[in-house]
Amino acid sequence: MGRATLEKNPRDVASMFDAVARRYDLTNTVMSLGQDRFWRRATRAALRIGPQDKVLDLAAGTAVSTVELATSGAWCVAADFSVGMLAAGASRDVPKVAGDATRLPFDDGVFDAVTISFGLRNVVDHAAGLREMARVTRPGGRLVVCEFSTPTNRLFATAYKEYLMQALPRIARAVSSNPEAYVYLAESIRAWPDQTQLAHQIADAGWSSVRWRNLTGGIVALHAATKPLR
Ligand SMILES: C[S@@+](CC[C@H](N)C(=O)[O-])C[C@H]1O[C@@H](n2cnc3c(N)ncnc32)[C@H](O)[C@@H]1O
């Protein structure tokens, strides 16, 4: 399986990431011109976690996002439904669990904070994913979604769209172990809700105090929210 379509069939998505896994981290860094490290650090800071916290990193892939979270001293678990992605991160010293974002293998309210980086866009029913994340978070616990979003400057947005559709698949052919997946990446970013729409969807899924911050001119947005106390 080279790539998923915008229907995001879970089997297709999981096998697409299995095929991407081998060179996933390198491809990310090349395509984002090294910005991925900055986005991950900003996600950790936005979660406001420390050694007292239990944290779920959902759609963690190779656990590259999880190890950054773990630098806070928090206990962090990586969950993903692509066993190939988890296996590619085997050398990363964090607990890893195979699981689907829409049916998480965790009890209610067990995490102080949950986060998902570049994963929510790939979940077939992302509203269900947001509700599942709320279920496993304790009342008062925190959510941060790190996801590609809509650049705020119109001129820049046009150049960026061109980069997504033209340059990104070409770079992928040189670097990735599954270049076709990067056509899906470009399409799925273009079809994804903008900052305001995603904020409404997060609130509709049962989260409160939803707010966001743009990174790199809105190429990425960090949405933060809190699980209501009751
Ligand atoms: C682009 S990668 C992100 C990996 C990592 N969080 C990062 O920041 O680089 C997206 C991940 O989402 C996972 N994913 C997509 N849908 C999922 C679902 N329904 N349940 C669990 N994982 C899912 C894929 O397997 C893939 O590893």
Report which protein residue has its CA nearest ligand 1's atom 17.
123
Q: Indicate the pLDDT class of residue 107, thresholds 50, 70 and 90.
A: very high
**Tell me, what's the pLDDT at 100?**
97
Distance 151 CA to ligand 1 centre (A): 23
The verdict on the CB of residue 69 being under 6 Å from ligand 1 is: no
**Tell me, what's the pLDDT at 179?**
85
Atom of ligand 1 nearest to the CA of 185: 1
What average pLDDT does range 82-106 have in this prediction? Answer: 97
Encoding tokens for residue 54?
A: 């239990």
Pick from 112-116, 178-182, 210-214: least confident: 178-182
**Tell me, what's the pLDDT at 133?**
98
* C-alpha count within 13 angstroms, C-beta hemisphere, residue 156: 9
Calculate helix-pair angle for 195-204, 126-136, nearest 10 degrees.
Answer: 50
CA distances from 12 to 4, 127, 168, 175 (A): 5, 19, 21, 21
Encoding tokens for residue 118?
A: 């570049």
CA 37, CA 33: separation in Å to the nearest integer?
10
Helix (H) or strand (E) holding 147: strand 137-148
What average pLDDT does range 146-153 have in this prediction? Answer: 96
For tokens 């998505």, name the residue.
13
Q: Indicate the pLDDT class of residue 3, thresholds 50, 70 and 90.
A: confident
Q: Is the pLDDT of residue 1 over 80?
A: no
Distance 229 CA to ligand 1 centre (A): 29
Q: Indicate the pLDDT class of residue 184, thresholds 50, 70 and 90.
A: confident
The verdict on the CB of residue 189 being under 6 Å from ligand 1 is: no
Burial 43-58 (b: 16+ CB within 10 A, else e): bbebbebeeebbbbbb
Q: Is the pLDDT of residue 155 over 60?
A: yes
